[in-house]
Structure 1
Amino acid sequence: MTATASALRVGIAASLALLLAGCAVGPDYRTPSLAMPVSWKGEAAKTRPARPQLSQWWRNLGDPLLNALVDEAVAGNLDVASAKAAIREARATRRQAVGGLFPTVDGTADADRTKTAATQTGTGASVTASTFQSGFDASWELDLFGATRREVEAATYGVDAANEELRSTLLTLVGDVAQNYVEARGYQARIALARRTAASQRETAGLTRQKLEAGSASSVDAANAAGLAATTAAEIPSLESSLAQSIHRLGVLTGRSPASLSPRMAATKPIPSPRRPPAAGLPADVLLTRPDVRRAERQLAQYTAKIGQAEAALYPSVSLTGSISTTSSKIGDLAKRSTIGWSYGPSVNVPLFQGGSLRAAVDVAKAQRDQYFVAFKASVLTALEDVENALVSLAKERQRAGQLATAASNYREAARLARELYRAGSSDFLDVLDAERSAFEAEDALLQSRVLAATDYVALNKALGGGWDRPVDVSKPEVVDVATGPRLGGQVVVASRPPPSARSR
C-alpha cells in the first residue's frame, strides 16, 4: 500500500511537472535544403575554388580617401541609424514576449471615508468610519501549448532578421560609396581629357587660321577646326554636372549636407583600379555571406513559429490567480490588528465556438509562412543571378578595356602624325579633323571602360556579400529624451544626438 501510494505521488508529481512545462504545437522550423550549382559559369574552371576574401574589399582599390569615406558613412549614414533602431525595437519586442512566461504581480491600496446617517444607525447619531485596504493580486497563465514560447521563438528570429537587415544596409552603403566615388573620379578624368583635347584642338584651329591668312587653307578648314574645338569644350559642363551629383550623393551617404565633401574631392585623382579580381568561391557560399538571403531565411523561421502561436489559441488555456489583502480601520493597523483575506485557484478557458476565426488565423499564419518561403527561394536565385552577372560583366569589361587601350594608343599616334603632316603641308585638314575626333572618342571610351570595370568590381563584391564586417554599436539611441518623469505640464524636450562622425572629430 505504501509503495502504491508512493508511486501514485511520483506519477502525480511527474504529471504536474509535465503540465507546467507544457508542450508546443505547430511545426518546428528546419532550414530549407535548396539545390545549388556546383560552380559559377562566369568564372574560369578551377580544381579547388578559392574562398572569396570579402573583408574590407574596398581597400583593394588603393585609395585612402575612399577608405575614410566608407568609415564616415558607416558612422553617420541615416539608413544605418534606422537599421540600428530596428534592432533595438526587435530586442525590446523579444523582451516583451519573454515577460509573458512569468507571473504578474500588482499591488493595490484603497482608502474609504464613509458617513452613516442617524436614521440608519438606529442610535440617534450619525457614524463616520474609515477603512484602509492593501494587498497584492497575482496571475500566471500556464503556457501549456507553447503559445508564449512560440511568440518568444518568433521574436528571437525577428532579432536575427533585424541584425541581417543592418548587415544588408551596410553592404549596400559601402557599395554605393565606392561606386559613386569611382564615378566621381571618372568624371574628373574625363573633364581633364576634354580640357586637354579642346586646348590642342584650339591650337590646331589657330594654325589653320594662320594657313588661311597665308592662302594655304580654306575658310571651310578654319570653320571646321574652330567647330571641333567648341564641340569638345561643350562636353565639359555636362561632365561637371555629373561630377557634382556624384559628390553630392557621397555627402548624403555619409550623413552630411550634399556639398560638404566638395573641398575634399576638389583635387583630381586617378580612377581607382582593383589590384586583382576577387575569387567567387562556391555558389553555396552566398547562403552564408549574403545578408539579404540570411534575412529572408530568418524571416521564414519567424513566420514558421507564428503558426504554432496561432494553433495554440485552439486549445484550452489555464491561469493561476491569487490575491491577498489586509483591511483595517486605521492605516497603522494594516500590519498589526487587521483583517486578512486571501484567495487562490486555477481558471480554465476553453474555446468552444469562435465562428471559425481561430482556424482562419492558423490559415493566415500558414499562408504568410509560404510567402516567406517563396521570398527566401527568390532571394537565393537573385543572389546567384547577381554574382553570375557581375562575373561576366567584370571579365568582359576588362577585355574591352584592353582593346580600347590599344585603340586609344593608335589613335593618339595617328592624331600626332596628322597634325605634323598638316603643319608641314603634306596632309589635308580633313585627315587632322578625323584623327583628333577619333583620338578623343577613343580616350574618353577608355576612361569610361575603366570606370565600368571598377564599378563591376564593386558590384561583384556586393553580390558575393562583401560588406562591413566590424562591430557596430546599436545600443545608443538617436534621440535622447529629457524631462520625461511625472510633471504637472509643459513640453518634453527632445535632444538629438550628433552623428558619431561629428562627435569623433
Structure 2
Amino acid sequence: MRVVGIATSVSLLGGCLVVGPDYKAPQLNLPSKWGSNPRKAEVRAPELSRWWERLNDPLLNKLMAEAVAGNLDVATAKAKIREARATHKQAFGSLFPSVEGTASANRGRADEVVANDFKAGFDSSWELDLFGANKRSAEAARFGIDAAEWELRSTLLTLVGDVATYYTEARGYQARIALAKQTASSQANTAKLTRTKFDAGTASAVDVANAEGQAASTAADIPTLESAYTEDVHRLAVLTGREPSALTDQMAKGGPIPVPRLPIPTGVPADVLLSRPDVRAAERQYAQYTAKVGQAQAALYPSVSLSGNIDTEGVKIGDLAKGSAISWSFGPSLTVPIFQGGQLRAAVEVAQAQRDQYFIAYKSAVLTALEDVENAIVSLNNQRIAYRRRSVSAKAYIEASRLSNALYQSGASSFLDVLTAARSAYSAEDAQIQGRVAITTDYVALNKALGGGWDGQVDSSKPEIVDTHTGPHLAKIQE
C-alpha cells in the first residue's frame, strides 16, 4: 500500500509537469487596409458564404454540390483527417496503463511420471510520464487533427474556385464559338457574293481571294475554341469525381456567362488570418511542431514506470485462482539518460529546427494570402475598366463595319475596307466576350484569396473502403 501511495502521488505530480515551450499563437503586424483598394472604399467584412450562388447559375450551384461530394482530392483529405484522429487516439492511449493477460499449458514427463502444468496471469505497466513526453505527444496529435481539418477546408476552397473558373471559361468558349460560327457563315456568304460579282465582271480576283481567305481564317478559329471548351468540360467532370465525358450533354445545352454583382467587400488584411484555411492549417502545424519540441526535451529527463504481475499455477485448469500457487510482484523502475553520445540533445535541435520551419511556413502563408488578395483586387478593378473600353471598341467597330458596307455598295469605298472593318468588328466582339469571362474569373480569384470556400458540413468519418470478413479465416493465395 505504501508503494501504491507513492506511485499515485508521483503520478499526480507528473500530471502537472511538462517540459518544453508552451504554444502561443504568433502575433504578426499586418496593414490596416488593402493597398489596392480605392482610398475611400467602404470597409465591410467579406461575404464569403456560398459566394458562387451570387452568380445566379443553378447548374453551377448543382456542380458545386456534386464536386464536394465526389471529388477525389476531397476524399483524400477526409482520409487524412481519419488518420490524424487515429494517431491522436494512439498518443492519448499512452497516458494510461497497459494490461495483458497471459496463459500457458504444458505437459511433461520426468522419472516415469507424466504431469500437467497450467499457468495464468496478468502483466501490467504504466509509464508515469513525469515530464510530459506522452502529454506533448498527445498535444501534438491533437493539433494534427486541427491541421488536417483545415487542410480539408483548403482543398474545398481550391475545388469550388476551380469549378467556378472552369465553368465560366466553358461558357465563354461557347459564346466565342457561337460568334465565330456566325461570323464565318456571314463571311462565307460574302465570299460567295463576291465570286458571283467576279463572274459578272463587277469584282476583282483580289476581292474574291481576300473574302474567301477571311472566311477560312475565321472558320479556323472554331476547332481551336472547341478543343479548349471540351477540355474545360472534361476537367469539370473529373472535379466532380466522374469520367471526363459525364457532363458533355448537360453543358451542350448552353447557357450565359455567369456575371457577378460588383463591387464586393474585402474587409481588412487581418481577416485572412481567420478566413484562409491554408493559413489556419499552417498555424496549427506550427503549434503541432512546438509540442514536438517538448516531447523531444522530455527524453532528456528520467522516466519512471510502474510494472506488476500476478500469476496463478496449478496441475489442473480448475485449480487456477483457487487451490493453486499464486505469485505477484509490483514495483517502480527508473531510467536515467546518462550518456547517449549527444543523440537526445540532437533530437531536440532537430525538433526546434522543424518548429522554426513551420513558423516560417506560417508567415509565408500569411504573406501569400495578402499577396493573393492584393493581386486579385487589382486584376478585377483593371478588368472592369478594360471591359468598359472593350465594349466601346466593339460598338464602334460594329458601326464601322456597317458603314463600310454601305459605302462599298455606293462605290465610295473599296472591298478591302469592308473586309478589314468586318475582321476588326469580329475581333472586338471576341475580346469583349473574353473580358466578360475575365471579370468573372477574377471575381472567383478574389473570393478564393479572401478565403471563401465550402462552409457546409462535410462528413469525414466514413471510410472509402469498408473491410468485411476481417476475423480469423483461411488465407488465400494472392496472384
Coarse TM-score class (shorter-chain normalised): over 0.9
Taking the TM superposition and a 5 Å limit, the aligned residue runs for 1:231-270 are 231-270=217-256
Q: Displacement, 1:47?
A: 7.1
Aligned to 1:188: 174
Structure 2 SS opposite 1:263: helix
Aligned to 1:29: 23
Q: Judge conservation of contact 1:277–1:457 (CA < 8 Å) in 2.
A: no
Aligned counterpart in structure 2 of residue 102 of structure 1, from 96, 104, 121 = 96
Distance in 2 between the 1:325 and 1:13 partners? 22
Aligned counterpart in structure 2 of residue 312 of structure 1, from 298, 314, 324 = 298
Distance in 2 between the 1:292 and 1:413 partners? 50
Q: 1:220 corresponds to which letter in structure 2?
A: V
Aligned to 1:480: 466
Q: Displacement, 1:16?
A: 4.0
Distance in 2 between the 1:342 and 1:409 partners? 97
Q: Displacement, 1:44?
A: 1.8
Aligned to 2:131: 145
Aligned to 2:159: 173
Cα 1:29/1:207, change in 2 over 3 Å: same
Distance in 1 between the 2:11 and 2:351 partners? 30
Structure 2 SS opposite 1:102: coil
Distance in 1 between the 2:438 and 2:423 partners? 22
Distance in 2 between the 1:218 and 1:350 partners? 103
**What's the TM-score, normalizing by structure 1?**
0.92
Q: Judge conservation of contact 1:408–1:446 (CA < 8 Å) in 2.
A: yes
Asked if 1:91 corresponds to 2:88, the answer is: no
Cα 1:249/1:83, change in 2 over 3 Å: same
Q: 1:302 corresponds to which letter in structure 2?
A: Q
Q: Judge conservation of contact 1:146–1:309 (CA < 8 Å) in 2.
A: yes
Structure 2 SS opposite 1:262: helix
Q: Displacement, 1:213?
A: 2.5
Q: 1:217 corresponds to which letter in structure 2?
A: A
Aligned counterpart in structure 2 of residue 70 of structure 1, from 59, 64, 68 = 64
Aligned to 2:390: 404
Q: Displacement, 1:102?
A: 0.3
Structure 2 SS opposite 1:398: helix
CA deviation vs aligned residue, 1:167-220 (integer Å, no higher than 9, x gap):
000000000000000010011000000011111112221222232233221110
Structure 2 SS opposite 1:481: coil
Q: Judge conservation of contact 1:322–1:345 (CA < 8 Å) in 2.
A: yes
**What's the TM-score, normalizing by structure 2?**
0.97
What is the RMSD of the two structures over their aligned residues, measured on CA atoms?
1.6
Distance in 2 between the 1:34 and 1:266 partners? 49
Distance in 2 between the 1:417 and 1:213 partners? 26
Q: Displacement, 1:490?
A: 2.2
Distance in 2 between the 1:491 and 1:480 partners? 22
Distance in 2 between the 1:20 and 1:420 partners? 95
Asked if 1:218 corresponds to 2:192, the answer is: no
Aligned to 1:422: 408
Aligned to 1:8: none
Q: Displacement, 1:491?
A: 6.6
Aligned counterpart in structure 2 of residue 456 of structure 1, from 427, 442, 445 = 442
Aligned to 2:378: 392
Aligned to 1:116: 110
Aligned to 1:379: 365
Distance in 2 between the 1:332 and 1:96 partners? 37
Aligned to 1:285: 271
Q: How many residues align?
A: 474
Q: Which range moves more in the overlay, 418-427 or 11-20?
A: 11-20
Q: 2:449 corresponds to which letter in structure 1?
A: A
Distance in 1 between the 2:158 and 2:171 partners? 20
Distance in 2 between the 1:426 and 1:45 partners? 52
Q: 2:43 corresponds to which letter in structure 1?
A: P
Aligned to 1:130: 116
Structure 1 SS opposite 2:466: strand
Q: Judge conservation of contact 1:22–1:143 (CA < 8 Å) in 2.
A: no
Aligned to 1:465: 451
Cα 1:43/1:362, change in 2 over 3 Å: same
Q: Displacement, 1:15?
A: 5.8
CA deviation vs aligned residue, 1:439-490 (integer Å, no higher than 9, x gap):
0110111111111111100000000000000000001110111111101222
Aligned to 1:5: none
Aligned to 1:204: 190
CA deviation vs aligned residue, 1:11-59 (integer Å, no higher than 9, x gap):
9899646534241000000011101011011112347510000000011
Distance in 2 between the 1:409 and 1:19 partners? 82
Q: Judge conservation of contact 2:308–2:328 (CA < 8 Å) in 1.
A: yes
Cα 1:386/1:314, change in 2 over 3 Å: same
Q: 2:125 corresponds to which letter in structure 1?
A: S
Q: Displacement, 1:425?
A: 3.0
CA deviation vs aligned residue, 1:409-431 (integer Å, no higher than 9, x gap):
11111111212222343321011
Distance in 1 between the 2:400 and 2:381 partners? 29
CA deviation vs aligned residue, 1:46-105 (integer Å, no higher than 9, x gap):
475100000000111111111100100000000000000000000000000000000000
Aligned to 1:370: 356
Structure 1 SS opposite 2:250: coil
Q: Which range moves more in the overlay, 422-431 or 191-200?
A: 422-431
Aligned to 1:499: none
CA deviation vs aligned residue, 1:263-303 (integer Å, no higher than 9, x gap):
00002211111022321100000000000100000000000
Q: 1:102 corresponds to which letter in structure 2?
A: F
Distance in 1 between the 2:84 and 2:23 partners? 20
Q: Judge conservation of contact 1:184–1:243 (CA < 8 Å) in 2.
A: yes
Aligned to 1:120: none
Q: Judge conservation of contact 2:15–2:132 (CA < 8 Å) in 1.
A: no
Distance in 2 between the 1:436 and 1:186 partners? 21
Q: Displacement, 1:222?
A: 1.0
Distance in 2 between the 1:283 and 1:356 partners? 45
Q: Judge conservation of contact 2:107–2:115 (CA < 8 Å) in 1.
A: yes
Aligned to 2:316: 330
Cα 1:401/1:228, change in 2 over 3 Å: same
Structure 2 SS opposite 1:323: strand
Structure 2: 5+ residue runs without aligned partners? none
Structure 1 SS opposite 2:249: coil
